[in-house]
Amino acid sequence: MLDKLARAITRKPRLIALVAALLLIPSIVGYAATRVNYDILTYLPEDLRSSQGMSLLEDPFRMAATSMLIVEDMPAGYTNSLIESIKQVPGVSNAIWVSNLVGVQIPTDMLPQDLRDAFYSGEGTMMIIQYEKAGASEETMQAIREVRSLCNEKCFLAGFSVVVEDTKELVDKELPVFVTLAVVLALLAMAATMESTALPLVLMLNIGAAVIYNFGTNVFLGQISYITKAIAAVLQLGVTMDYSVFLYRRYEEEKANCEDRRDAMARAVAAAFRSLFGSSLTTVAGFLALCFMRLTLGRDIGIVMAKGVVLGVLTV
């Protein structure tokens, strides 16, 4: 059965290439529709006290999404104007500063000691910003971006939601860079071991298609973590790159025994699949073992990577 399938594949190369190209379209759509979760706290077990505490802060207290804004060496009038502008930002439920408790006309030295300690330190002052939605929601991220647009260079925003926003920006910015670097290094490695200069590009396109298929099928999971997004492409490239090289080496061996190159490729495909099936099963099992972690981030990474290995073998 496998030999017949391999023979059929090698007899219809243009059809196979067309189908592979067409499958990229729904994969790209699926990739765009897959939500990326930047809230690492959602992967903690629900029975942890910290998880329960965060749930209570979010509902009913609605304080899970809270950030602090530090303003350095600016007059009270500027800070008061800033906090009033922040209160008007969509997604901000409240902004708390000393002006909520006493008038800004009162000198700092005349404020009660506890109040000064809470809102002032040296030449700086701090305000507390609360958001309407969860800490990693898109509404909160947009609110943080708008708050930052209101601030000058002497304002510093801090807090969990701010870290999530910065993480999102950093991952989106650097992901194309290190994926490109991984591709270049992989091409150099294959070029150093192969006589053909075009073959590494062909093999890399094949692996790239498998990566796109993997990311596109993540839409059925609903969402993936930003950590999975950051490492899955490079990890899948490293794990499955050898599969294409193995198929090529097998084809070179079979070519010496066959007059027709298509027959050589058919025999190479069948033989390579039998060998890769066993070795890939151990890799898939290793990734699926991550699914048993109580930290469900392991399940997220395990499913995506196991799926990537399977798609890598099938694409080869």
State the pLDDT at residue 247. Answer: 81
Query: What are 115-148's pLDDT values in tens digits?
Result: 777 777 877 888 888 888 877 778 888 889 999 9
Residue the block writes with tokens 């000064």: 116
Angstrom distance (rounded) from CA 214 to CA 168: 21
Band of pLDDT at residue 285, cut at 50, 70 and 90:
very high
Per-domain residue ranges of the chain: 2-33+194-315, 49-164
State the pLDDT at residue 122. Answer: 75
Mean pLDDT is lowest, of 79-88, 98-107, 237-246, 281-290, for 98-107
Residue closest to 144 by CA, chosen among 126, 131, 127: 131
Angstrom distance (rounded) from CA 80 to CA 127: 10
pTM: 0.82
Give the HSE-up count for residue 19: Cα atoms under 13 Å, Cβ half-sphere: 7
Is residue 157 over pLDDT 70? yes
What CATH number does the domain located at 49-164 have? 3.30.70
Mean pLDDT along residues 65-93: 85
- The per-residue pLDDT of the chain, averaged, comes to 83
Domain 2-33+194-315, classified CATH 1.20.1640.10, yes or no: yes
